[in-house]
Amino acid sequence: MKILVVGSGGREDATVLKLAESPEVEEIICAPGSHAIGLRRIISNGRPVRVISGIQPTDAKIMADYAKEARMDLVVPGHESCLEADLGDWCRAYGIPFAGPCSRGARLETSKAFQFQFLMDNGIPSPLGKICETVTSAKAFANMHWNGVVVKADGMARGKGVKLCENTEEAYAAIEKLMIHRECGRAGDRLVMQEFLRERTEVSLHVITDAASAFLLETIRDYKREGVGDTGENTGGIGGYSPGPELKEETLFKIREHLLGPWRRGCKSEGIVYRGILYPGLMLVGEVGFRVLEFNARLGDPETQIFLRRFTGDLAKLLYASATDALDESMLSWNPEPSVGVVLCSEGYPRVPKIGREILGLDDAAKVPGVKIFHSGTRKDGNRWFTTDGRILTVTALGSNARARAYEAISLIHCEGAWFRPDIAEHLK
């Protein structure tokens, strides 16, 4: 199989590494890829993964034309921006299997207002909220919720469009930043205002789907806030563990009955044939309940780096099956041991990251047993590695002492000003 992976971050690095283990795979191309991805090799034939740095994920037509000319058997989307840019639609038009939704399906992620309306229309448990088109209506919603609100920009905002506001003043400031000062540009044309759920346990749930079926993958807990004990600003996700918090039988039953069933029916009524990954972010509430905080239309980052460590099936076969309506539950198998991932972040992240700094100690860190390191924001210059983004690396470890190993490895890496959360997966201490 010849596979094109779209993206350049840690999620794509981990996806490429897992695809490279499949005996079915003879060639992997990653666009735009990264220096680290270009160093990966296909296990069965030793060929290096090729990176095509000139094509961006949003160049959907160029990307699909390339996939057609290069006779790719499968295209695997990474970042949601390629979904929004119609890559799925172009690939399907050319008859190229695509392991993701078309742009209509991707709106479940790319528009918070569409997502919120979809959740409401289909009776899927979600926080109380309202779509607001004006500053006045958003402030009126904030006035009614003394216990805090969450303000979400409708459009894509690279993780900066969701503001957790403890009180009305913070809510007013967030509304003004997004709607008046246009901090996230047109993403702030509309807002989704929600009650602030005070529960603490979130679960990233990934579901693999084809036109007819949907199967749950193993759960992950992702840490979104920058500070110890879940304080400070939201990030794109800076660590996690899998399996995530245990879901009781009754919760799993509810997920099937009140989430997956209505989601499937909702897609049908919207005319969406959904393939690939649906990733609902859940907040667990009460003994067995949940609320859907968000839908994503692709694999999570850093979730992928963490939970693919536990996947023992053939990822190439699985994604091909999801793109061609041939999914079967027997394709899913997992290592029962835990996996932990800790993200090394640049000084200043999640505000303005300082980049261009040298990263030392990668080789020593990679020698820690059970550890694999995935690159998100790095470049190689000669034999030296430098940072290029706020999230630099995800250091993962698999096995009974995964937590200790991940922290041992990350502490061997040196980069001026870089930081990580010291309290990931504390239950595994």
List of residues contacting ligand AMP (CB under 6 A)? 127, 150, 152, 162, 164, 194, 196-197, 202, 224, 234, 281, 293-294
Residue 168 binds which entry of ligand GLY, ligand AMP, none, CB below 5-8 Å type-dependent: none
Specify whether the CB–CB gap between 372 and 396 falls below 8 A: yes
Residue 300 binds which entry of ligand GLY, ligand AMP, none, CB below 5-8 Å type-dependent: ligand GLY
Compute the least distance from the CB of residue 303 to ligand GLY, in Å.
6
Residue 89 binds which entry of ligand GLY, ligand AMP, none, CB below 5-8 Å type-dependent: none
Between 77 and 237, whose beta carbon lies closer to ligand GLY?
237
Between 242 and 296, whose beta carbon lies closer to ligand GLY?
296
Residue 299 in 3-state DSSP? coil
> One-letter amino acid identity for 115?
Q
The DSSP line for 141-201 is: HHHH-TT-EEEEESS--TT-SEEEESSHHHHHHHHIIIIIS-TTGGGGGSEEEEE------
Question: Which residues of the chain form contacts with ligand GLY (CB under 6 A)?
Answer: 222, 236-237, 296, 300-301, 303
Compute the least distance from the CB of residue 407 to ligand AMP, in Å.
23
Between 223 and 407, whose beta carbon lies closer to ligand AMP?
223
Specify whether the CB–CB gap between 157 and 234 falls below 8 A: no
Specify whether the CB–CB gap between 100 and 83 falls below 8 A: yes
Compute the least distance from the CB of residue 282 to ligand GLY, in Å.
12
Provide the token pair at 48.
């290096």
Compute the least distance from the CB of residue 162 to ligand AMP, in Å.
4
Q: How far apart are CA 271 and CA 44, in angstroms?
A: 40
Residue 234 binds which entry of ligand AMP, ligand GLY, none, CB below 5-8 Å type-dependent: ligand AMP
Between 125 and 399, whose beta carbon lies closer to ligand AMP?
125
Between 222 and 389, whose beta carbon lies closer to ligand GLY?
222
Compute the least distance from the CB of residue 260 to ligand AMP, in Å.
18
Residue 369 in 3-state DSSP? coil
Between 125 and 361, whose beta carbon lies closer to ligand AMP?
125
Q: How many alpha carbons fall within 13 Å on the CB side of residue 294?
A: 26
Between 89 and 109, whose beta carbon lies closer to ligand AMP?
109
Between 117 and 234, whose beta carbon lies closer to ligand AMP?
234
Q: Which contacts qualify for 171-178: CB closer than 8 Å, 24 or more apart?
A: 171/139, 171/142, 171/145, 172/139, 172/142, 175/135, 175/138, 175/139, 175/142, 175/151, 176/135, 178/151, 178/153
Compute the least distance from the CB of residue 238 to ligand GLY, in Å.
9
For 38-59, letters b (16+ CB in 10 Å) and e give bebebeeeeeebebeeebbbeb
Specify whether the CB–CB gap between 214 and 264 falls below 8 A: yes
Compute the least distance from the CB of residue 424 to ligand AMP, in Å.
15
> One-letter amino acid identity for 100?
G
Residue 73 binds which entry of ligand GLY, ligand AMP, none, CB below 5-8 Å type-dependent: none
Compute the least distance from the CB of residue 148 to ligand AMP, in Å.
8
